[in-house]
Structure 1
Amino acid sequence: MRLSRQITAIALSVCMTAAFAPADEKGVNPKVQEMMDQVSEARIKAILEKLESFGTRNTMSNPDDPARGVGAARTWILKEMQSYSPKLQVRFEKFRVKKQGQRIFKDVDLYNVVAVLPGTKMPETTVIVSGHYDSLNLGNRPAGAAAGPGTDGAGAPGNTTANMTLADFEKNAELPAPGVCDDGSGTAAVMELARVMSQYQFDKTITFIAFAGEEQGLIGSSLQAVKAKKENQVIEAVLNNDIIGTDVSGNGRMSNSSVSIYSDETMDSVNQQLARYTREIGERYLPSMKVNTIFMGDRLGRGGDHTPFQWEGFAAVRVSTPNEIYANQHHATDTLANMSVPYTAKVAKVNLVVAANLALAPKPPIVMPEPRAGGGRQGAAPTGAAGAPAAGGRRPGPMIARGGGYDAVLRWRAAGPEEDIKGYAIMIRPTTSPYWEQEIYVGKVNTFTLKDVSIDDAKFGVKAIGTNGMESLVTAYLYPARQKTEIETVQ
């Protein structure tokens, strides 16, 4: 109650000192709405039918068959996306992967399909929309084993794929693996968004990727993410779609009006900020859809192509249905007849409005001090020899302080072109709340003081608002944890 009263008091005091954003800035952008309305169920269905027709898209299947297998599938995806727009730069990203383990039972050429829509103002910054086009059939489920993750493959009931032999994986590579939901649905959404969005221009670059090798252990996405990190690519967000095709689960639970967004378990991480943004923007444009933010890295004990980007420090989330049919996953029954095209189209629309808003918005503000000569930071805590924390164990922190001892003084700086920024909004919430509860528009300034507000019992953030009304991701003020220091004693 104390913090709630405090936030109310903040709102009343700021009314006297800062202008509020017009109501329409929280509205729906007509151009983005126009794009969203162009997402076609019929086209998504046609893509899924074509993907299913390849029989299998197993990364280890025969790549030379012109009509069946992974080679035929990737070639079709490439040519199809090349047909969408001359503005779309479509290519194969090839990696030669060495034989390793059982799932990669021979050296293999792996091809991600990458389609780049260059930005006009901030082309160096990209928003990625992705899915994986490879599929998998693990063979017959052991007799008596319940359908569910970890119960597929050879061996006794309940054994996992760890019990499968090299011969099992070699045999399964050519089994029918339609993979319509896992992950033809994600691939179809990526391709349909590439078609629609390539008819428009965006400030930032949007990259559409269909990964290979997901079923062998996130291989294509891992190689892509490492390459991006090595090349110092600026990736603002990754929206990875995996299993977005079913609205009825294997136990009969039904919902065609909700979607799950997985991020991670680290409070106020960039992944959680992206999840919050996805929820807010998704539900703003599609109020009939409930966007569920789940502060876990993925479904328990499982993985997806967003994870390698998180490993490299990029903001990434998994977009997935809350209603899976385990009996069909990684089996020949993962077909178009066993999934919902209308549901996939709805989730594709959520992706579109989030990606479009991000690509038209300013870059998130920076709350850390500027680096200064010598490698330190202006206003940062002092360091000892070799850059180690000074006595007390403090590390450089964000630009938040106690003004006069009892006020909250927040500072930030622009990360991109300032001429396209209308102003900034400060975000506040209790430490136990998953979502920002208070938003205060403070205008085009780089510092603001919240009188009589403690910085010790609330979370703070800041976001930029463009002249076009688009909002950036929130940058949270994350103060580093106090570090352990060694205390010398006299013997």
Structure 2
Amino acid sequence: MKYFLFLMLAPSVIFSQVSSKDSEIKKYVSEVSSDSLKSYINKLVGFNTRHTLSAIDDQNKGIGAARNWVLGKFTDYAKNSEGRMDVYLQQQDIQPDGKRVDQITNLGNPIAYLKGTDSNDKRIFLISGHLDSRVTDVMNRTSFAPGANDDGSGVSAVIEAARILSRSKFPASVIFVAFSGEEQSLLGSKLLAERAKNENMQIEAVLNNDMIGNAKAGETNEINNNTLRVFSEGLPYLDLDKKAMGIRNLGLENDGESRQLARYIKETAEKYVKKLEVKLIYRNDRFLRGGDHSSFVNYGFPSVRLTEYYENYDHQHQDVRMENGKQYGDLPEFIDYNYLKKNVAANIAVLASLAKSTAKPENVEIEVKELTNSTTLHWKKPKSGLPIGYYVLIRETDSPAWQKKIFTKDLSIKVPLSKDNYIFAVQAVNQTGNLSIPVIPVIAR
């Protein structure tokens, strides 16, 4: 066990181990095309409506035509994967619920599943957007509902990620999915999340993209094309009653798995994407609202929502119309494609970094049997992958992000900082510098 005296070191020394960028991920980021994103969104808008209750048997209009087109794009990209990408439509007939479904509806989620190269690595990372669109009346399934930003922008991120990453050979697996039924109460995401839970799928991160292409605020016309919000829960929705006492005792109200994922996104995205700030929002979603990641949160999967900094309600959930000289409706001309490109690049950088990393360290523990002003941590190797070492992460309890990192090749460490004053975590690092998601220690027994 090593005792690290690092407090007098310059921050550049502490962080020097993680300053370099993975050349493969840099290449993926550089391949994101605003022209491709524009073509995807224009095609989606061309289906007239993608309302969940719209036609599924029309070849040119409605949700059926839209989901078949997404499946076709996935199938084209699967040709690059050397047989490792499976493409299919997860579907189920939904019965009327007296709320937002008034007829028997065939619900379908277009999915591309890129299998990892390591048969021992069971981790899955998921990127999503929702395919369906709507106008003012959530039950209106016939009017023109372009859904360019809500959520053509998110679906374009999913398709572009599938295009670029289809040639990758990550040890872990990646799922690309365009959910149906989001506007009808998250139906498609509930369908996949329930399946993931029943099949014990090891989903370690859900990146749900919902409206990532608008840069202008509706009320003030302020523009922010450099900030991407990431919403994450702090306290775990699943089994909170069983976990609450431990969380309170250890002061981990700000350290749920989804919050750790959000911090990871911030560090990784800002590392690879120029002129992008990731803003951590300490809520599961916008005020009293919800998106598809919530379906996964409810089953205990680490999940976040990525969304633009400003929402423009003139172009969200609106009938397309001109009123008093003002254009309403979610039309493609209101997308900032350079901003969208940065946000898509952020997703791809994070997905690639996660899927290339080793698994998380196992059995991370903190010693508490003695009263000391130092802190001792120990852990075990990940279940899959070959780490070259580990980072011990440190931050003050009121800091939103990790402040210090110490590299070690050992499986234990003693640092001259009191566990009363700091939060600690451990993450694995591999030869290409890719990092696992940090693990908060439990009490050593």
Q: TM-score, normalised by structure 2?
A: 0.87
Q: Which has the larger radius of gyration?
A: 1
Matching of residues 39-78 of structure 1 within 5 Å:
39-78=32-71
Give identity over the alignment, percent.
Answer: 33
Report the Cα offset of residue 409 of structure 1: 1.3
Task: Determine the structure 1 residue equivalent to 2:94.
Answer: 97
Q: Tell me which of 399, 413, 435 is aligned to 1:448.
A: 413
Report the Cα offset of residue 75 of structure 1: 0.6
Q: Is the 8 A contact 1:463 1:475 kept in 2?
A: yes
Moved more, 104-113 or 47-56: 104-113
Q: Distance in 2 between matches of 1:116 and 1:38?
A: 21
Report the Cα offset of residue 298 of structure 1: 0.7
Q: Tell me which of 179, 201, 218 is aligned to 1:233.
A: 201
Q: What amino acid is the match of 1:344?
A: L
SS in 2 for 1:213: coil
Task: Determine the structure 2 residue equivalent to 1:376.
Answer: none
The yes-or-no answer on 1:334 pairing with 2:330 is yes
Task: Determine the structure 1 residue equivalent to 2:339.
Answer: 343
Task: Determine the structure 2 residue equivalent to 1:128.
Answer: 126
The yes-or-no answer on 1:413 pairing with 2:380 is yes
Q: Is the 8 A contact 2:368 2:443 kept in 1?
A: no
Structure-2 change in CA distance of 1:301 and 1:12 (3 Å): closer
Q: Tell me which of 164, 174, 193 is aligned to 1:196.
A: 164
Q: Distance in 1 between matches of 2:391 and 2:420?
A: 20
Count matched residues: 406
Q: Distance in 1 between matches of 2:8 and 2:383?
A: 30
Matching of residues 124-273 of structure 1 within 5 Å:
124-139=122-137, 169=139, 172-251=140-219, 252-266=221-235, 267-273=254-260
Report the Cα offset of residue 399 of structure 1: 4.0
Q: Distance in 1 between matches of 2:73 and 2:374?
A: 57
SS in 2 for 1:45: helix
Q: What amino acid is the match of 2:377?
A: L
Q: What amino acid is the match of 1:257?
A: N
Task: Determine the structure 1 residue equivalent to 2:29.
Answer: 36
Task: Determine the structure 2 residue equivalent to 1:464.
Answer: 428
SS in 2 for 1:468: coil
Higher RCO, 1 or 2 (CA under 8 Å, sep at least 6)? 2
Q: Is the 8 A contact 1:403 1:409 kept in 2?
A: no
Task: Report Cα offsets for 1:334-355 as digits up to 9, x if no partner.
Answer: 0111222222111000000011
SS in 1 for 2:163: helix
Matching of residues 385-404 of structure 1 within 5 Å:
398-402=365-369
Q: Distance in 2 between matches of 1:98 and 1:303?
A: 22
Report the Cα offset of residue 216 of structure 1: 0.4
Q: What amino acid is the match of 2:378?
A: R
Q: Tell me which of 73, 77, 81 is aligned to 1:80.
A: 73
Q: Distance in 2 between matches of 1:344 and 1:123?
A: 32
Structure 1: which 5+ runs fail to align? Answer: 1-8, 140-160, 162-168, 369-397, 481-491
Q: What amino acid is the match of 2:184?
A: Q
Report the Cα offset of residue 21 of structure 1: 8.1
Q: Is the 8 A contact 2:14 2:404 kept in 1?
A: no
Q: Is the 8 A contact 1:423 1:442 kept in 2?
A: yes
Q: What amino acid is the match of 1:192?
A: E
Q: What amino acid is the match of 1:98?
A: Q
Q: Tell me which of 278, 287, 290 is aligned to 1:291.
A: 278
Q: What amino acid is the match of 1:422?
A: I
Q: Distance in 1 between matches of 2:152 and 2:163?
A: 16
SS in 2 for 1:216: coil
Structure-2 change in CA distance of 1:82 and 1:62 (3 Å): same
Q: Distance in 1 between matches of 2:423 and 2:91?
A: 43
Structure-2 change in CA distance of 1:117 and 1:404 (3 Å): same
Q: Is the 8 A contact 2:14 2:405 kept in 1?
A: no
Structure-2 change in CA distance of 1:23 and 1:69 (3 Å): same
Task: Determine the structure 2 residue equivalent to 1:117.
Answer: 114
Q: TM-score, normalised by structure 1?
A: 0.79
Q: Distance in 1 between matches of 2:370 and 2:412?
A: 12
Q: What amino acid is the match of 1:234?
A: Q
